Amino acid sequence: MDIQTLNSKYALAGQLTFTEGKGFFPMAVIENQFAKCEVSLYGAQVLSYQPKGQQDLLWMSDASMFQAGKAIRGGIPICFPWFGPHETDTQKPMHGFARLLTWNVTETSTLVNGATQLKLNLNNKPVTLEMWPFPFEAEVVVVVGDTLEVTLSYSNSGNKTFVCSDALHTYFNVSDIANVSIAGLTGTKYFVGPDKDKVYTQTEQLLTIQKEENRRYIDHTGDCIIEDTGYNRKIRVVKKGSKVTVVWNPWDGAKNMADMLPDGYKTMICVEAVNAYNNMVSVNPGQSFSVSTIIGVV
């Protein structure tokens, strides 16, 4: 739909409008009593969530590419139907195709508590079946209130069971990575990057980032708290339907990334709700699965 049609069908007076964002991607702009939020229909990707009186909780790369066929670096990318590189074909897009396609708006509403809800939908199409031969229906629900809740749901509309992985790949905005610590991971087993053969257990009470980190915490379902002394705030990261938590900061690796400035790593940290590795998702015909992340200032 064009912007005019989107607004005529789905705008909410005083709360939600559609506009043309960077790269000419259609974007929903939500502003209510709690926060301001921007959601790109390309990728069903939340780009910004700024509670009243706060710095934005989400980080966006100043070098991010807003181009069709390219991922947007920042916000909350949707990873589906695989997380990371494809297991057998590295020519297929990193983190799946969901973040590279434009999703359809299906519903907007104001909830009883005053929060604003946006629903987006993506179904299989020839381009997806070429990369992943399974019929599916996916939905992203964004609820903007005193917290931000993002839920990815997907169902199997075919006649064969499929196995997939997923992630809500959240980039958090921080004052400086030197000011940041993360609580909630003590005693959890993890491996680093793709090397699943070496498993470690976190012993420190607070994780601080002093180098490149790419920790994949397995069998972790609890909350995390990101404390940022520079912004004098704590962000609670709650998740549902996820058994893996990924903590990532590229550090010096940012200089090798075309869509991140060399010092971009200093103001971001990813804490992601993931299902992958030993916690893949198996969905039988007619069944569905969902994963959520809920973020807010403590």
The residue type of 174 is V
Catalytic residue among 95, 139, 149, 169: 169
Q: How far apart are CA 165 and CA 154, in angstroms?
A: 11
Residues 6+ apart with CB under 8 A from 6: 18, 26, 105
Provide φ and ψ at 255, rounded to 5°.
-70, -15
169 is catalytic: yes
213 is catalytic: no
Catalytic residue among 38, 149, 213, 272: 272
Q: How far apart are CA 66 and CA 156, in angstroms?
A: 30
Within 13 Å and on the Cβ side, how many CA atoms surround 158?
Answer: 15
30-35 contact pairs (CB < 8 A, 24+)? 30/116, 30/118, 30/142, 30/144, 32/114, 32/115, 32/116, 32/144, 32/145, 33/114, 34/114, 34/115, 34/144, 34/145, 34/146, 35/144, 35/145, 35/146, 35/148
What burial letters (b/e) apply to 156-184, b meaning 16+ CB within 10 Å? beeeeebebbbbbbbbbbbbebeebbbbb
Q: What is the greatest pairwise CA distance in the chain?
A: 54
Rg (CA), the chain: 18
Contact 43/64 with Cβ under 8 angstroms? no
The residue type of 19 is T
Which SS3 state, helix, strand or coil, does residue 241 take?
Answer: coil
List residues with catalytic annotation: 169, 272
